[in-house]
Amino acid sequence: MDFLKKLKIKKVNYGSSTGLKWNTTKSEGKLDIHSPVDGKYIASVYQASKEDYDKVVETAHKAYLEWRNVPAPKRGEIVRQIGDKLRKYKDPLGHLVSYEMGKSLQEGLGEVQEMIDICDFAVGQSRQLYGYTMKSERPNHRMYDQYHPLGVVGTISAFNFPVAVWSWNAMIATVCGDTNLWKPSSKVPLTAIAVQNIVGEVIKENNLPEGLFTLVIGRGSSVGEKMLNDKKVPLISITGSTHVGRHGAEVIAKRFGKAILELGGNNAIILTPEADLKMALPAIVFGAVGTAGQRCTTTRRLIIHESIYAKVVATITKAYKGLKIGSPMDEKNHVGPLIDKAAVADFTNAIDLVKKEGGKVIYGGDVLKGKGYESGCYVVPAIVEAKNSYKIVQEETFAPILYLLKYKGDVTKAIDIHNDVVQGLSSAIFTNNIQEAEEFLSASGSDCGIANVNIGTSGAEIGGAFGGEKETGGGRESGSDAWKAYMRRQTNTINYGKTLPLAQGIKFDI
């Protein structure tokens, strides 16, 4: 395929890089990557060894000792050049994202655009790594805080956003003076290799230190565990399931490291009687079926007032029946495949479980077979009448299942249902009633890290801090002041007087 050639993806690739060199280990086995689009073989990757990991981290740490002293605006200039490279490679990289992961081509190109956008954001941020000046209680003293680079920043990314999540972390960390270590999902390693090749061009062109951007593709049980336990990696951002994040957080905490956790979501939209249903419909459908339900911000629960329930069910069912399911490389299709057959099994198991608990499948739930669906990864997005108390509804199934939940009374009843899950990532309400909207955004409203009014749960902008509460992990990435997580904070006091007054009026004469 032409886009593989443009991205320098070979039939057989190596799984670890120091930025300028690829380690050539073959002893750890090979990942054979097949596309969920058509089941065809794309390429292979030799997995990194523990020794490869050690080389990569040592190189990244050495580069950090140099990079931390480069003025932040100059670090921003490098990120600007990376953004320009991504513009150059947007089309082939977007095609690879779509073909390797299975999301629509439009979404694949959009994900690369998100990388470009965060580069632009980070360039500006490089001139705004601000601190604060505080008034000292002691005369002739100046007190302020400032932020310094942290070290090697690790990113463990998931398959569903194979490149964007890395960029959220890496571009901000780079302007903060950190170097980067990336462990991508083993389900989508080719996109990571492509990005490493792209940033490698910038490293060479600017004669930058080897180790500024590093990559390890390997087993979680070996390379992954070394990364979690490594004191040379003071911060690790983990995107994945709550189970994976909990384990990672425990290991990192034992060595007093820092973790940014972006974990499970069980996102809901509330529809009140005051909702504009015409506006709400595309937000609901895209939120539920976009990326085949494999976004952490996917809409999984729809909480509907009883007075409009029947109308909403009929409207959504009609919309689902019009969905075009097929190759994501064809922009006419709305829904592509799940990532693999294990994800399909999770989908069908969830459908079976919700039926056993008393739920009713209104539409969908089937696995598609035949021409165009040879990979075995295509399903019909499901609409299911359910109750929030069902065990399966309380869990996150990474697949296109939308649970319809009915509520009575005022908006506080809907908010109670909304908050009655262990996850807390994204949330939304559709209403033209300002009191309902403000209640949803108040301290007694949504308990999620993201709360929206009259837009859906999916499609967060990079300018805002991204992340959630409760078992979603509490971390924040991307915009706002999320940059502070990638730096260490220091409070400074300068005495420019002739005497040494002590704080709190303490006297200590010698």
Catalytic residues: 262, 296
Which residue pairs from 494-497 have beta carbons closer than 8 angstroms and sit at least 24 positions apart in sequence? 494/141, 494/142, 494/143, 495/138, 495/140, 495/141, 496/140, 496/141, 496/142, 497/139, 497/140, 497/141
> Cα–Cα distance between 77 and 103 in angstroms, integer?
32
- Cβ atoms of 236 and 228 within 8 Å: the answer is yes
> Cα–Cα distance between 417 and 419 in angstroms, integer?
6
- Cβ atoms of 196 and 7 within 8 Å: the answer is no
> Cα–Cα distance between 84 and 202 in angstroms, integer?
10
Query: Checking DSSP bridges between strand 16-17 and strand 423-424, what pairing results, if any?
Result: unpaired
> Cα–Cα distance between 208 and 191 in angstroms, integer?
23
Residue 306 exposure: Cα atoms within 13 Å on the Cβ side:
5
Phi, psi of 272 (to 5 degrees): -95, 170
- Cβ atoms of 225 and 53 within 8 Å: the answer is no
> Cα–Cα distance between 374 and 372 in angstroms, integer?
6
Residue 147 makes CB contacts below 8 A (sequence gap 6+) with 129, 131, 176, 484, 487, 488, 489, 490
Query: Checking DSSP bridges between strand 299-305 and strand 16-17, what pairing results, if any?
Result: unpaired
User: What Å distances lie between residue 316 and 270, 285, 338, 416, CA to CA?
Assistant: 14, 7, 22, 24
> Cα–Cα distance between 267 and 426 in angstroms, integer?
5
> Cα–Cα distance between 172 and 482 in angstroms, integer?
9
> Cα–Cα distance between 73 and 198 in angstroms, integer?
21
Q: Which two tokens stand for residue 286?
A: 């895209």
Grouping H, G, I as helix, E, B as strand and the rest as coil, residue 256 is coil
**C-alpha closest to that of 392 among 353, 361, 347:** 353
Residue 292 makes CB contacts below 8 A (sequence gap 6+) with 102, 103, 335, 336, 337, 338, 379, 381, 399, 400
- Cβ atoms of 76 and 69 within 8 Å: the answer is no
Task: Centre a 10 Å sphere on the Cβ of residue 448 and count the other Cβ atoms it contains.
Answer: 27
- Cβ atoms of 116 and 86 within 8 Å: the answer is yes
